[in-house]
Structure 1
Amino acid sequence: MKASCVVGFDGTRHVLWRDGEVVIEGSRVLFVGRGFPGPVGQWIDYGNALLGPGFIDLDALGDLDSTVLSMDNGDENAMGRMWSAEYLARGPQESYSFDEEVFKYRYAFTQLIRNGITTAMPITSMYYREWAETYDEFAAVAGVAAELGLRTYLGPCYMSGMQYLQADGSRAEHWDEARGLAGLDAAERFFRDFDGTRGGLIRGALLPDRIQTCTPALLQRTAALSRELAAPVRLHCCQGPGEVALVKALRGKAPLAWLEELDLLGPRAVLPHGIYIEGDDDLARLAHSGASLVHCPVVFARDGEALDSFGRYRAHGVNFALGTDTCPADLLDNMRQGLNIARLKEGGSTQTSALDLYNAATLGGAKALGRDDLGRLAPGAKADITLFSLDGLHLGPLFDPLKNLILAGRGDDCIASWIDGRCVMQDGQVNGVDYASLQRQAQRQFHRLMQSHADRAFGQPDWRTLFQPAIPFADAWSADRPLCTLASPNDDKR
């Protein structure tokens, strides 16, 4: 492949080749630079584009994103997102059918590829589940990932508890230890059956839900299994003051100290989001452990929250990966907003650079996974390659392609993607996917998801009353009119 700009790796850092070449053979990179001396079966010239390593998203949305429902919608507790005591007493139910659960991953994985993400560790919401995820579901999800060609770290999420809302507005915890341990058994079975399959494209991971929804026994067994299988463990922690207070109340320690006690704080630990860390002692503990933080700046900034200093964490030696955790699945947007937020929090531009965020999306994610063959383009590395067009008018006049993309680029500037040496997207089209059909089915499912909010809310109100648009609707809702009009090619135009 040829492009006007190629991001290579010199063994220590990314370097930029002007009018560069990348030669791949099978699933591996053979050469990066200029003037390849050997025979080549086919040259592909991508012209004015940035050819670089694929992005790694370690908190990748695998769902139909519901944050649009809670945005500027008042008290989230009243909208039926969180379980109510009434709902818990009646017995939680699945919001989707089995096929719909699998479809949401197809929809999300397509979005990831479309935005230049080549390696993903997906995340979905448990509020819409009867309990947690299942082995059979993920056996099907692995098939979807392999069909699309996305490199994934998969496993059913498991948990031993769930917070719910009481009638007085306070929160309480519901525990089911047996169900949590059964979920871990399913995760182990999935790992043993699927890790390394599809030519290594599918890898296993242990994915407990959140630190406050897991009991000591569940996390202790997770730690032991991680050691036995050499499996990465992703655990959401330090992401809110309520979580930190609850962990202290239940376990007598702050989250990171508790994980250290459980022997879960180590190089295989992948921890979104790490915003609420208690001072330099916790940062030193985190850095010394070798654990990685997954930084997801966009989704937290929407609620007015942010990491206090990306640069300070890095100065302590903390390894950062990046995640999206919401729609759009745009890591360029997360780099841009992450950079801006870091400089606002740090009061200047000296502690955090654009390259720091790009490194997190590539080399940092690879380090978190223990992979020295991902996140870089060098001989022997996996041929996970993305091409971002530099022709867009919105990018402005070019000086440095990476700076232009981080300042003004967007995920759909990605025009081609290769994963494991296979072209999975060309000219912005993911292979084998009908975008219009995909969007129509997603809209139908999302309509059902909105309706399910009424079941979880106290009193099971009319679901139409639970969501407020940014601009008030001019007419009243009738019983037969959906909140969103679903257009199809056969619908009358109106």
Structure 2
Amino acid sequence: MTAEDKATLIRDVDWLLAYDSDLGSHSYRRGADVAFRGDRFVDPTTLAPEDIGQVIDGKGLMVSPGFIDIHAHPGYETMLKGLTEEVGSRKLYMSSLYEYLFLFDTTHEGMVAATEVALSELMQSGVTTICDLSTPHVGWIDTLAASGMRAYAAPMFREARWFTDNGHEVKYDWDEAAGERRMIAALAEVDAAIAHPCGRLGGMIVPAQIDTCSARMFKDSLVEARRRGIPIQTHASQSVVDFQEIMRRHGLTPIGWLEELGLLGPDMIVGHGIFLDHHDWIRWPDRRDLALLAETGTTVAHCPTVFARRGISLQNMGDYLRAGVNIGIGTDTYPHNFIEEMRTGIYTARVTARDIEGATARQMIEAATLGGAKALGRDDIGRIAPGAKADFFTVDLTHPSMRPLYDPLRSLIFSSGERAIRDVYVDGRQVVRNGAALAFDPEDATERLEAAQRASIAEVARYDWGGRPVEQLMPRLF
């Protein structure tokens, strides 16, 4: 047996978050061993001494399954740091989508740099699987592979672009032929990811937004997703604007229209799903949307931070879960810090519910692991169990931010954040060591990202309906 064939044993782990098949969830184990060989966890009790290669001391560590990020835009969001945290259109229900999202163009070099920075941030916060909803660009698939992460290439395409020329009305510019070309190009990227020799990449079909794609495009997307046996995702019910627009066009809520099209189901992820018919900003008389999501097994990708910045929130995560809706977690904005995203999700749920049980840390951990795995149709990630993929991270329990220690996951989410995460593994290969992501040069990537931001903000007035420069739209605090 070669050294590569031998198992790695983490011995006597202080706190292990192991999967319990009887519970269908995780459970803490104290002073436990965990082992992996190649890309899979193995039962440590089955290993003979000669089967074991590296032995890691688990004293002072928690070992947790890696987190699954089912909705992220690493190709450009990171470039917006310091710019868009405090903008939103008050005449468009506080959304930043229609007036601000497309003010910032970037180069190919900027997209690569943004992706490298974002993926590093995600790994450092315990994420081992990402769904990257980006615009296809040269080298994108190779960047995902180089990161060491488990990644789903999810190139977006659409037939219409939205815009406003006055700050209070959203209009749509349709080009079906261009949309078809974008879809063909996106399918080629998906197929390239699936075929990539690293073996860690998958694909996802993403008709970008419910209000920018026709019924035909949605139906064609479903056919292509099911032909490949991969998930489909779209942004829907992410704003009052898209709720009202779909109601105007079809007389149905966005969820109702997806159901009429036959898109709801276990392979469908609804990005955001905030403004359902029960949301108090909508004041809609019917209450069918949650039940439709639950009955069809559709997942909601919950990305709380970007909306909380604008006073918007799911109402609320606990109610979705109690209704039987599967929830996964995404980072739809910067920083790509998954633990901060989880903490924000708990707090916003409690505020909107006016209830301490609006969301719990246990529910959030389950959504971040098992909920994400279910959304992707997988039972081999998001858990530590023999036969599952060896995707996990370790937490330094002696880190001051984790002490005094009573419940390590509560301390991680509410107090420590990513600071105590030490090492991260994907497929049994280390991608973070002592808190530093290994794949990219962070200083070089950040320099390139800053250059891209400087170039982009100089052009903002070209894209703004009022011709306003960035200094007017997003003035510095002082």
Task: Please state which band the TM-score falls in when normalised by the shorter chain.
Answer: 0.7 to 0.9
Q: CA deviation at 1:435?
A: 2.1
Deviation track 1:415-441 (CA, whole Å, cap 9, x = no partner) reads 111001111111112114332222222
Residues 72 and 130, structure 2, Cα contact 8 Å, conserved in 1:
yes
Q: CA deviation at 1:462?
A: 4.3
Distance 1:96 1:40, change over 3 A: same
Structure 2 residue 206 is the aligned partner of structure 1 residue 207: yes
Deviation track 1:115-163 (CA, whole Å, cap 9, x = no partner) reads 1111001235xxxxxxxx34xx2x6111112112011110321011111
Q: 1:289 aligns with which of 278, 285, 296?
A: 296
Structure 2 residue 370 is the aligned partner of structure 1 residue 356: no
Q: Which position in structure 2 is the counterpart of 1:304? A: 311
Distance in 2 of aligned mates of 1:332 and 1:108: 14
Residues 207 and 235, structure 1, Cα contact 8 Å, conserved in 2:
yes
Residues 165 and 465, structure 2, Cα contact 8 Å, conserved in 1:
no
Structure 2 residue 270 is the aligned partner of structure 1 residue 271: yes
Residues 113 and 446, structure 2, Cα contact 8 Å, conserved in 1:
no
Q: CA deviation at 1:349?
A: 2.8
Amino acid at match of 1:19: G
Residues 239 and 274, structure 2, Cα contact 8 Å, conserved in 1:
yes
Once the two structures are superposed, the pairs formed by residues 41-80 of structure 1 within 5 Å of their partners are 41-62=53-74, 63=76, 64-66=78-80, 68-73=82-87
Residues 329 and 411, structure 1, Cα contact 8 Å, conserved in 2:
no
Give the secondary-structure state (helix, strand or coil) at the position aligned to 1:68: coil
Q: 1:445 aligns with which of 447, 452, 458?
A: 452
Structure 2 spans left out of the alignment, 5+ residues = 1-9, 279-286
Deviation track 1:442-491 (CA, whole Å, cap 9, x = no partner) reads 11111122222111024544443332112x2xxxxxxxxxxxxxxxxxxx
Q: Which position in structure 2 is the counterpart of 1:258? A: 257
Distance in 2 of aligned mates of 1:302 and 1:35: 50
Distance in 1 of aligned mates of 2:326 and 2:439: 36
Distance in 2 of aligned mates of 1:21 and 1:241: 50
Once the two structures are superposed, the pairs formed by residues 348-427 of structure 1 within 5 Å of their partners are 348-350=355-357, 352-427=359-434
Residues 316 and 349, structure 2, Cα contact 8 Å, conserved in 1:
yes
Q: CA deviation at 1:244?
A: 0.2
Amino acid at match of 1:398: L
Amino acid at match of 1:337: T
Q: CA deviation at 1:386?
A: 0.8
Distance in 2 of aligned mates of 1:244 and 1:399: 44
Distance in 2 of aligned mates of 1:445 and 1:120: 24
Give the secondary-structure state (helix, strand or coil) at the position aligned to 1:317: coil
Q: Which position in structure 1 is the counterpart of 2:159? A: 160
Give the secondary-structure state (helix, strand or coil) at the position aligned to 2:211: helix
Residues 243 and 254, structure 2, Cα contact 8 Å, conserved in 1:
yes
Q: Which position in structure 2 is the counterpart of 1:106? A: 116
Q: CA deviation at 1:113?
A: 1.2
Distance 1:198 1:304, change over 3 A: same
Q: CA deviation at 1:363?
A: 0.4
Q: CA deviation at 1:293?
A: 0.6
Give the secondary-structure state (helix, strand or coil) at the position aligned to 2:207: coil
Q: Which position in structure 1 is the counterpart of 2:126? A: 116
Residues 65 and 369, structure 2, Cα contact 8 Å, conserved in 1:
yes
Q: 1:8 aligns with which of 7, 15, 18?
A: 18
TM-score normalised by length of structure 1: 0.85
Distance in 1 of aligned mates of 2:103 and 2:305: 30
Larger displacement relative to structure 2 (422-431 or 342-351): 342-351
Amino acid at match of 2:313: A
Structure 1 spans left out of the alignment, 5+ residues = 85-91, 125-132, 473-494
Amino acid at match of 1:69: L
Residues 460 and 469, structure 2, Cα contact 8 Å, conserved in 1:
no
Distance in 2 of aligned mates of 1:94 and 1:301: 22
Distance in 2 of aligned mates of 1:401 and 1:327: 25
Q: CA deviation at 1:354?
A: 1.1
Distance in 2 of aligned mates of 1:262 and 1:444: 44
Distance 1:378 1:168, change over 3 A: closer
Distance in 2 of aligned mates of 1:114 and 1:4: 21
Question: Aligned residues, how many?
Answer: 450
Q: Which position in structure 2 is the counterpart of 1:25? A: 37
Give the secondary-structure state (helix, strand or coil) at the position aligned to 1:272: strand
